[in-house]
Amino acid sequence: MPLNPQAAKMLEILAMMPPIDYSADGTKARAVMAAAAAAGPSPFGPGDEVAHIEDRTITGPGGPLGLRFYYPRANASNLPVTVYFHGGGFVLGCPKEHDNICRSLAKRADTLVISVDYRLAPEAKFPAPIDDGWAALCWVRDTAKTLGADASRIAVAGDSAGGNIAAVVAHRARDNGLTLCHQSLIYPVTDSALNTASYSEMGTGHFLTTEMMRWYWEQYLPHKSAGSDPMASPLRQKRLQHLPPATIVTAQYDPLRDEGEAYGLALIEAGVPVRMQRWPGQIHGFASMMGMIDAADDALTFVASALRESFDTTSQRAA
């Protein structure tokens, strides 16, 4: 399918953003992006209305760890929980920049969403974001009752680099006896190799580029060989059995398309239930582009429906 006209228009807007200086480290890129974001309102829709949003700070492995809470209903109790990890190549981003995704998932799946402000590279290299994600998940499990949440119904979710973190945290949860009921991976990063057909076909001109991903990995990994670690590249994990059911979203014009789908197929081969859908004509990041790309709404409804079903199934089994 040709590039969606809305996605094509979005590419024109994104082309006006300041380019990343690949000769500099991620701290400079972060400052440039923050200045650009502060220069005007976001072109994207705000997402669904939720009852309450609040920020908290817990003690993480590297110091204070920020969490943003999205409550779908007022005075709710025993809510299922979705621990969310934002995208940004392990270098950029924060919960605020993915607010619309978290709002929409909270409302549509009737779940408490907790978005993790994990440490970023290059200051905090692999596996620091994974360690932060695991710490946040354990804290949620241990304090669920005081949060108005149900510790037996916890899911992880994330987009792009956040999808990588969600996938790897799911591995760690399985290995440590923490049962998750679902994992939602939105155009996830699953391998550091950059050698798929979608990188060859879509690696330039479609927002996320091969050059950009190479730079992200260079910022994130302490050394290149660390990319072969399954905690960095979950597609290289040889033991995928007994992971939670997964929902995977990919986009046709995304260099990450093939590695996301390869991970989904590997999960299926390992006996993990998977719902996987490729959005035709779409680019990387489209799910956050509400108000500009209609497919964003469809993709988030797809993800939220699978989350809600997993939460309901877990409740029925416990009854």
Q: Which residue has the tokens 């979710």?
A: 157
Q: How far apart are CA 84 and CA 105, in angstroms?
A: 10
Here the tokens at position 33 are: 């992006």
With 0-12 / 13-18 / 19 or more C-beta atoms within 10 angstroms meaning exposed / middle / buried, residue 18 is exposed
Helix (H) or strand (E) segment spanning residue 150: strand 149-159
User: How many beta carbons lie within 10 A of that of residue 87, not counting itself?
Assistant: 27
Q: How far apart are CA 32 and CA 280, in angstroms?
A: 32
Of 42, 104, 152, 160, which residue is the catalytic one?
A: 160
Going by C-alpha positions, the residue among 175, 310, 163 that lies closest to residue 245 is: 310
User: Does the annotation count 160 as an active-site position?
Assistant: yes
Strand-pair partners of 82: 113, 155
List phi, psi (to 5°) of 240. Answer: -110, 0
Residues with catalytic function: 160
